[in-house]
Structure 1
């Protein structure tokens, strides 16, 4: 495995709200495993919150306070999911398209995304 010298965005913020980063040459160290576990827990909690949101939104008796709390929770979950996506995206291996049989993966036109 090639050493990875980039900083990893961790799934939590520092005490001042700023992002935390991990600098390591390995992906299996204790702090990396803790971050992996935290990311999984955040995504699982987001999945549960999404199901709860569906229930609240179809319930016509939901009051404004409940909707406000739901919006706050969804905002936090989205922040966490975006942080996980950014962190994982930065850790994907680079792919280089080449004219020598290299496969850079599927290529879709912009129209495919709506």
Structure 2
């Protein structure tokens, strides 16, 4: 299977906040493994933050400052999760490469009723 994109979007920004990419075909290399671990940590932190957000939103006594901090943290976590999703999406095999024929998926006639 051929990846959709040869460049991997890394889960951290480069200089000046710009996207940072890795060009390699070695998914087991040191930097690839480091990126995998960073993505996993970001997604774990997002899951924990979501639980915290549910608790804060259920608390009718939560003050404006707490809600503002929560909103900032949620925005950061959402940005991290989107970067992971984009990176992983670009590394999925293309449909044509996955099937090898270049014609897309082949369905049996019965699939069309």
Same-fold call, TM cutoff 0.5: yes
More strand by share: 1
Task: Give the deviation of 1:51 after TM superposition.
Answer: 0.2
| Ranges in structure 1 where 5+ consecutive residues have no aligned partner | 104-114
Aligned residue in 1 for 2:80: 80
- Relative to structure 1, the CA distance from residue 2 to residue 91 in structure 2 (aligned partners, 3 Å threshold; closer, same or farther) is closer
Correspondence for 1:101 among 98, 102, 106: 106
Aligned residue in 1 for 2:66: 66
Structure scoring higher RCO (CA < 8 A, sep ≥ 6) equals 2
Measured against aligned partners, the alpha-carbon deviations of 1:57-97 in whole angstroms (never above 9, x if no partner) come to: 01000000000000000000000000000000000001137
Q: Secondary structure, in 3 states, of the residue corresponding to 1:22? A: strand
Task: Give the deviation of 1:6 after TM superposition.
Answer: 1.0
Aligned residue in 1 for 2:111: none
The number of residue pairs the alignment matches comes to 103
- Relative to structure 1, the CA distance from residue 29 to residue 94 in structure 2 (aligned partners, 3 Å threshold; closer, same or farther) is same
Contact 1:10 1:35 in 2 (8 A): yes
Question: TM-score, normalization: structure 1?
Answer: 0.81
